[in-house]
Amino acid sequence: MLTQPYLEDYKHDISSGRKNYIYLTLVMAITDFKMKYDNSALGYLWSLVKPLLMFGTLYLVFSVFMRWNVENYKLHLLLGIILWNFLAEVTLNSMVLLEGKASIIKKINFPRWIVVIASSLTSLLTLFLNIVIFFLFFIFSAPPFHTSALLLGLYLIELYFLSVGIALLLCALYPKFRDIHHLWEVFVQLGFWVTPIIYPISIVPQKYHTFIFLNPMARVIQGSRQAIIGPPGDFTGFTSHVLIISVAAVLFLAGLTLFNKLSPSFAEDL
Amino acid sequence: MITIEQVNKVFRLPHDKKTTLKQRFVNVFQKNTYERFYALRDINLNVKQGEFVGIIGKNGSGKSTLLKIMASVLKPTSGSVSIKANVAPFLELGVGFQADSTVKDNIFLYGALLGMSRKQITAKYDWIINFSGLEKFVDAKLKNLSSGMQVRLGFSITVIVNSPILLVDEVFAVGDIDFQQKCYDSFMNFKKNGRTIVFVSHDLNTIENFCDRAILLKEGSVSAEGHPKDVVTAYTNS
């Protein structure tokens, strides 16, 4: 019979068990990432090709057929799509992955938020790769580089917490109300059009600006554009960050609270 | 090791399930009616360290629910459960693997879910593959394995994780003779190591051979408890 190595390190394992949440989160993220692109010929490349194809289509329509009079429109559009896609992906995927993990959740007691964080990490990797591609475009179009571009880091952190906060809220409700997935899909579409992603903010009548910029995503996108591509504007300013951060913090804390409250019954509802 | 006091688990069985918004809106004035179904009723149980406890009973008598409560996957509706050690997630058919991932990835994911670190899993990886006899299938998708192979894999990982308590839900039914022998050998080993096992089985011989104590569940309540022979007799006569 095979010898069983647990004899000698029996004690050791017990003390260290259950503290490896970080490792669990990473393994889960890697497994999700592998599964997502598993049966496709281009594999991981899809995570890069997808936003580029979307960009190509929109660019064709809005730059060749219709013409916005915006300097570096290409860069504005690409950055907007990349940032918006991250929010859309994190929020929508987390529900899909929660459903996919039902068989594990029904059997193993582990903190459920790990599913949401793992799914967000997968999207985060895609986001970073996309940002690299954006900078390749940036170098080729050669607008002057401003040091304010470093603000992008702050915007990405804000974007991350905003997205994960929403994802936690949605996932908390999802097992009891499945329609929240469909509802949110529509909402993401709506959000894509009320956020200045493909159109310049200048075409929107001034009186609506206040409403448009109540949306923290509009501020994240417009602000990072002003910081990186220019021309500089007031969306990189202090008030804008305060607004984004407070919305993100409220959503994140609300999401976490609701999630912790409802997740103990996930094993029954999923 | 495990103390369960006055545990009740009630599932709500809706007469007409409303999970979509439309159904809720349309029936907003109609009261949501449901039955209260007692999956477990007034369970008191005390499992000591190193004890092997077998749970038997008909389908739907609450065996798996009880295991899930011990594994803290389900919360009891009332009553208290206290567990003084790490519990390995219970083992059963399709233990909670990802069907679309490879055997290798599943070992790492499952190991991590059991609270192991990368180092610990890597150290035990070869042993797991070897014990489960899946050397040829390391890169195969889990969904392409037979149900017996899946149980073997689950069992191998659960054996190697060093939780003092092991909950096992009907795994002997699918393994072949060789693997069953391996399982029995492991069980003997657990006994020597003072690990505690609670296991559910319809295989009455296994219960009689291995358990120190058996519990018969009937409609969510304990209807007999004691020496495995007596309890099995009570079960077969009922």
Across the interface, do A10 and B89 touch by the CB < 8 Å criterion? no
> Is B83 part of the contact surface with chain A (CB cutoff 8 Å)?
no
A31 to B101: CB separation less than 8 angstroms, yes or no = yes
Residue A250: the pLDDT is 97
d(CA A31, CA B113): 13
Residue B25 has pLDDT above 80, yes or no: no
Tokens of B30: 């109609």
pTM above 0.80, yes or no: yes
Partners of residue B88 on adjacent β-strands: B166
**Per residue in A83-96, is it b (16+ CB within 10 Å) or e — as a string?**
bbbbbbbbbbbbbe
Predicted ipTM beyond 0.90: no
Tokens standing for A175? 């097992």
- Among A68-82, A192-206, B35-49, B81-95, which is the least confidently predicted range? B81-95
Check CB contact under 8 Å for A103 and B163: no
The closest CB to that of B105, out of A24, A34, A179, belongs to A34
Q: How far is B237 from chain A (nearest CA, A)?
A: 32
Least confident of A5-14, A238-247, B24-33, B227-236: A5-14
What residue in A sits closest to B179 (Cα-Cα)? Answer: A1
Within an 8 Å CB–CB cutoff, is residue B124 touching chain A?
A: yes
User: What is the torsional sign of CA B145, B147, B149, B152?
Assistant: positive
- Asked whether residue B69 carries a pLDDT value surpassing 70, the answer given is yes
Question: Which H or E run includes B217?
Answer: strand B213-218
Indicate yes or no: CB of A20 within 8 angstroms of CB of B163.
Answer: no
- Tell me what pLDDT residue A58 has: 84
CA distance B195 to A18: 18
* B203 vs A: CB within 8 A: no
Write out residues 40-99 of A within 8 Å (CB-CB) of B: none
Contact assignment for B112 to A23 by CB distance below 8 Å: yes
Q: In this structure, is the dihedral angle defined by the CA atoms of residues B184, B186, B189 and B191, taken in order, positive or negative?
A: negative
Cβ contact (<8 Å) for B89 and A109?
A: yes
| Amino acid present at A42 | L
In terms of C-beta distances under 8 Å and separation of at least 24 residues, what long-range contacts does A19-22 make, across chains too? A19/B115, A20/B112, A20/B115, A20/B116, A20/B117, A21/A110, A21/A111, A21/A114
Asked if the Cβ–Cβ distance from A28 to B131 is below 8 Å, we say no
Are B96 and A100 in contact by the 8 Å Cβ rule? The answer is: no
Indicate if the pLDDT at residue B174 is higher than 90: no
- Number of Cα atoms under 13 Å in the Cβ half of residue B215: 24
CA distance A145 to chain B (A): 42
pLDDT band of B16, cuts 50, 70, 90: low
Judged against a pLDDT cut of 80, whether residue B89 lies above it is answered with no
Q: Which two tokens stand for residue B161?
A: 């994780």
Q: What is the structure's pLDDT at A6?
A: 43
Mean per-residue pLDDT for B54-68?
A: 89
Q: A209 — contact with chain B (CB < 8 Å)? A: no
Q: What are the tokens at B16?
A: 């007409």
pLDDT the model gives residue B30: 62
Write the burial class of residue A115 (CB in 10 Å: 0-12 exposed, 13-18 middle, 19+ buried): buried
Order of strands, edge to edge, in the sheet holding B87-91?
B87-91, B165-169, B196-200, B52-57, B213-218, B221-226
Residue type at position B127: W
* Contact list, B85 vs chain A (CB under 8 Å): 14
Cα–Cα–Cα angle for A58, A64, A65, rounded to 5 degrees: 85
Coil, strand or helix at B161: coil
- Interchain CB contact of B21 with A (< 8 Å): yes
Residues of chain A with pLDDT under 70: 1-19, 39
- The CA distance from B67 to the nearest CA of chain A, in Å, is 10
Q: Would an 8 Å CB–CB cutoff place B139 in contact with chain A?
A: no
CA distance B11 to B9: 7
